[in-house]
């Protein structure tokens, strides 16, 4: 059986650690093994990155950007192969996999602007014969730890930008679907990246702990579940590292009585059931303002949920594939059981779905609950599956209070034709990413991505302008060249222009 290797100093290696099974979630079969790094293997990657840093740091930003231009072209040329690898190990449909890759490529495009991004600021004559400038310098060796649900896009949020900023990067991808991530990193080598500037090291807690504890690793970017985000943030910052840790979510869509219902239904179908609900920006709660819009929504959603085309992600023309693992499937079914036991009305039940020809795949059908209340676990917890909950409220203010009281604050949206309601919502909602008639408001690459509350630990959001700040250190230089033959006496008062 083939092994998904590490990429250390430009070479594929199995390292000295353990291995784990990689599954095809559409069939339930083990398709590959993935190497899991022990501390010694991780140290090789750290040493490699450290040795590559001095030369890469001195490489002109324009030359670093040229590598990214070639990388972008290679990513586009290999879209079909990458999408297939994603789909085989994650389970999402081929079209959805291609979509995530395209959003990842946007981040490569942003990184292509390295010379512009890193220009810094300059002020002449801040004092007599004194000029000042501030410079954005790299941090050194930095690392990223990424989740299973976007094996192409989320790593591309991180390392293209970190690398054009002059850092060397160690990526620890999810061990559940590692192949596409490795394949993409190999394309970056092919684009001309020097050895050691990007190392990919697979693994689990042991590998992550080695990164947290290594003094050579100066910054950690994490994307994954909230408990692990909190762990990495607290352990990393304790050791003086710069950390940004993006966590879980529970994203609400508010439906106002004046919403364009047909468009809202289409938007909710994609946002709740696309990628089998395994998106950190998935809509998992529809908050209906008034019973009339709730009843109308259920009437329109129900037949569409029952008609979802579900099957092996690698088949074309489907709406939804399986969940990523048997454990994920069982967890989602457990939440549906709990919703029923806690008194929610199960309108569409996806628990008994069997996909003919793929009986052992990890499938759960689209599920809809009505009359969900805030104390139910299907409301409080991130289910990360194809389950949409309807909560009924009496006013926009109640809808906003509900959202603001939730522990997560990643994404949210409002469906309305009322500009005043939309403006109030955007202004006062305590969530990091907000959509108005846009169900998945994932910012484009030149804005930054990040939630509020327990959806993000750290001060800066991911990618875009915040990403540049995260992956650089500012240095302010004040420079004076005294006039020839002039001599100034020592000054003991603090220097100023006054």
314 binds ligand NAD (CB under 6 A): no
Binding of ligand NAD at residue 205 (CB under 6 A)?
A: yes
Task: Answer whether 50's CB lies under 8 Å from 381's CB.
Answer: no
3-state secondary structure of 354: coil
What tokens does 413 get? 């949206």
Q: Is 152 in the site for ligand NAD (CB under 6 A)?
A: no
94 makes contact with ligand NAD (CB under 6 A):
no
Give the interface segment with ligand NAD, choosing from 30-38, 75-83, 149-157, 365-373 (CB under 6 A): 149-157
Q: Any idea what the Cα angle at residue 451 is, between residues 450 and 456, rounded to 5°?
A: 90
- Min. distance of Cβ 124 from ligand NAD in angstroms? 42
- Nearest approach in angstroms of CB 228 to ligand NAD is 4
Q: Exactly one of 91, 104, 140, 147 binds ligand NAD (CB under 6 A); which one?
A: 147
- Per CB under 6 A, the segment of 114-122, 200-208, 352-360, 470-478 that binds ligand NAD is 200-208
* 3 state DSSP class of 498: coil
Evaluated on CA atoms 11, 185, 472, 111, the torsion sign reads positive
Least spacing, CB of residue 158 vs ligand NAD, in Å: 11
Q: Least CB distance from residue 248 to ligand NAD, whole Å?
A: 3
SS3 24: strand
Residues 235-254, interacting with ligand NAD (CB under 6 A): 246-249
Q: How far is the CB of 60 from ligand NAD (least distance, A)?
A: 32
Rounded-to-integer distance, Cα 112 and Cα 165, Å: 11
**Helix (H), strand (E) counts: the chain:** 16, 23
Q: Where are the alpha helices (DSSP H) in 121-225?
A: 153-164, 179-190, 205-213
Other beta carbons less than 10 A from residue 128's beta carbon? 10
Instruction: Based on the shown chain and the rule CB under 6 A, indicate whether residue 208 belongs to the binding site for ligand NAD.
Output: yes
Measured from the CB atom, is 275 or 416 closer to ligand NAD?
275
At 294, list the tokens.
């709730």
Task: Name the token pair of 322.
Answer: 């399986």
Nearer to ligand NAD, 150 or 425 (CB): 150
Report the alpha-carbon angle 181-186-189, nearest 5.
Answer: 135
Within 239-360, residue ranges assigned H as helices are: 261-273, 291-306, 326-341
Q: Which of 38, 95, 131, 204: binder of ligand NAD (CB under 6 A)?
A: 204
Interacting residue with ligand NAD among 56, 384, 415, 471 (CB under 6 A)? 384
199 binds ligand NAD (CB under 6 A): no
Residue span 324-363 as binding mask against ligand NAD, x where in contact by CB under 6 A, dash where not = ----------------------------------------
Among 410, 412, 416, 445, binds ligand NAD (CB under 6 A): 410
- Among residues 145 and 165, whose Cβ is nearest to ligand NAD? 145
Interface with ligand NAD, residue 454, by CB under 6 A = no
How large is the C-alpha radius of gyration of the chain?
25
User: Is 492 strand, coil or helix?
Assistant: coil
* Residue whose CB is nearest to ligand NAD in the complex, by number: 224
Query: CB–CB of 452/409 below 8 Å?
Result: yes
- Beta-bridge mates of residue 21: 33
* List 64, 172, 329, 461, residue binding ligand NAD (CB under 6 A): 172
Smallest gap, in angstroms, from Cβ of residue 451 to ligand NAD?
Answer: 6
Burial class (CB in 10 A: 0-12, 13-18, 19+), 68: buried
What minimum distance in Å lies between the beta carbon of 90 and ligand NAD?
Answer: 10
Q: Is 284 an interacting residue with respect to ligand NAD (CB under 6 A)?
A: no
Size of the site for ligand NAD (CB under 6 A): 27
CA dist 380 and 158 (Å) reads: 30
Spacing of C-alpha 139 from chain mean position: 22
Q: Interface mask (CB under 6 A) for ligand NAD, residues 434-453, using x and -?
A: -----------------x--
Which residues does the annotation mark as catalytic?
Answer: 280
10 Å CB burial of residue 428 (0-12, 13-18, 19+) is exposed
Minimum CB separation of residue 128 from ligand NAD in Å reads 50
Q: Which residue's CB is nearer to ligand NAD, number 20 or number 82?
A: 20
User: Which residue, 110 or 384, is less far from ligand NAD as judged by CB?
Assistant: 384
Minimum separation from the CB atom of position 236 to ligand NAD (A): 11
In Å, how far are 9, 69, 113, 158, 316 from 110, measured between CA atoms? 25, 10, 6, 11, 31
Q: In this structure, what token pair is assigned to residue 279?
A: 């998106």
- Under rule CB under 6 A, residue 79 binds ligand NAD: no
Structure tokens, 305: 């949920």
Q: Is 223 in the site for ligand NAD (CB under 6 A)?
A: yes
> In angstroms, rounded to a whole number, what is the distance separating the alpha carbons of residues 50 and 64?
17
Interacting residues with ligand NAD (CB under 6 A): 145-150, 154, 172, 174-175, 204-205, 208, 223-225, 228, 246-249, 280, 382, 384, 410, 451, 455
């Amino acid at each position: 059986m083939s092994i998904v290797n590490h990429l250390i100093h430009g070479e594929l290696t199995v390292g000295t650690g353990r291995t784990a099974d990689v599954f095809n979630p559409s069939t339930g079969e083990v398709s590959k093994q993935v190497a899991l790094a022990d501390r010694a293997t991780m140290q090789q990657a750290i040493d490699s990155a450290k040795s590559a840093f001095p030369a890469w740091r001195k490489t002109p930003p324009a030359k670093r950007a040229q590598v990214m231009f070639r990388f972008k072209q290679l990513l586009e040329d290999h879209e079909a192969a990458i999408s297939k690898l994603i789909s085989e190990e994650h389970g999402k449909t081929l079209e959805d996999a291609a979509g995530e890759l395209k959003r990842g490529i946007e981040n490569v495009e942003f990184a292509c602007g390295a010379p512009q991004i890193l220009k810094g600021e300059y002020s002449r004559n801040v004092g007599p014969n004194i000029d000042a400038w501030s410079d954005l310098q790299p941090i050194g060796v930095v690392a990223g730890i990424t989740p299973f649900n976007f094996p192409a896009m989320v790593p591309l949020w991180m390392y293209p930008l970190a690398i054009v900023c002059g850092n060397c990067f160690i990526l620890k991808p999810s061990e559940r679907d590692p192949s596409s991530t490795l394949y993409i990193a190999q394309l970056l080598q092919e684009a001309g990246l020097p050895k050691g500037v990007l190392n990919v090291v697979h693994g689990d807690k042991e590998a992550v702990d080695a990164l947290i504890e290594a003094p050579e690793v100066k910054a950690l970017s994490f994307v994954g579940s909230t408990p692990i985000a909190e762990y990495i943030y607290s352990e990393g910052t304790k050791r003086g590292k710069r950390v940004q840790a993006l966590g879980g979510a529970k994203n609400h869509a508010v439906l106002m009585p004046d919403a364009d219902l047909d468009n809202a239904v289409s938007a909710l179908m994609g946002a709740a059931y696309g990628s089998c609900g395994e998106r950190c920006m998935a809509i998992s709660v529809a908050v209906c303002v008034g019973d009339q819009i709730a009843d109308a929504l259920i009437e329109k959603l129900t037949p569409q949920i029952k008609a979802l085309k579900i099957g092996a992600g690698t088949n074309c023309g489907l709406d939804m594939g399986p969940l990523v693992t048997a454990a994920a499937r069982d967890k989602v079914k457990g939440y549906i059981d709990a919703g029923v036991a806690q008194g929610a009305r199960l309108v569409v039940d996806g628990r008994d779905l069997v996909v003919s020809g793929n009986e052992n795949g990890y499938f759960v059908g689209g599920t809809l609950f009505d009359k969900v209340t805030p104390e139910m676990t299907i409301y409080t917890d991130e289910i990360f599956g194809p389950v949409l909950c309807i909560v009924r409220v009496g006013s926009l203010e109640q809808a906003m209070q509900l959202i603001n009281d939730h522990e997560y604050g990643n994404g949210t949206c409002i469906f309305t034709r009322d500009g005043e309601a939309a403006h109030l919502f955007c202004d006062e909602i305590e969530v990091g990413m907000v959509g108005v008639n846009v169900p998945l408001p994932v910012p484009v690459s030149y804005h930054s991505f990040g939630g509020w509350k327990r959806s993000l630990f750290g001060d800066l959001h991911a990618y875009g302008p915040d990403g540049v700040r995260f992956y650089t250190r500012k240095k302010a230089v004040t420079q004076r060249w005294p006039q020839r033959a002039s001599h100034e006496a020592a000054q003991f008062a603090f220097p100023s222009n006054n």
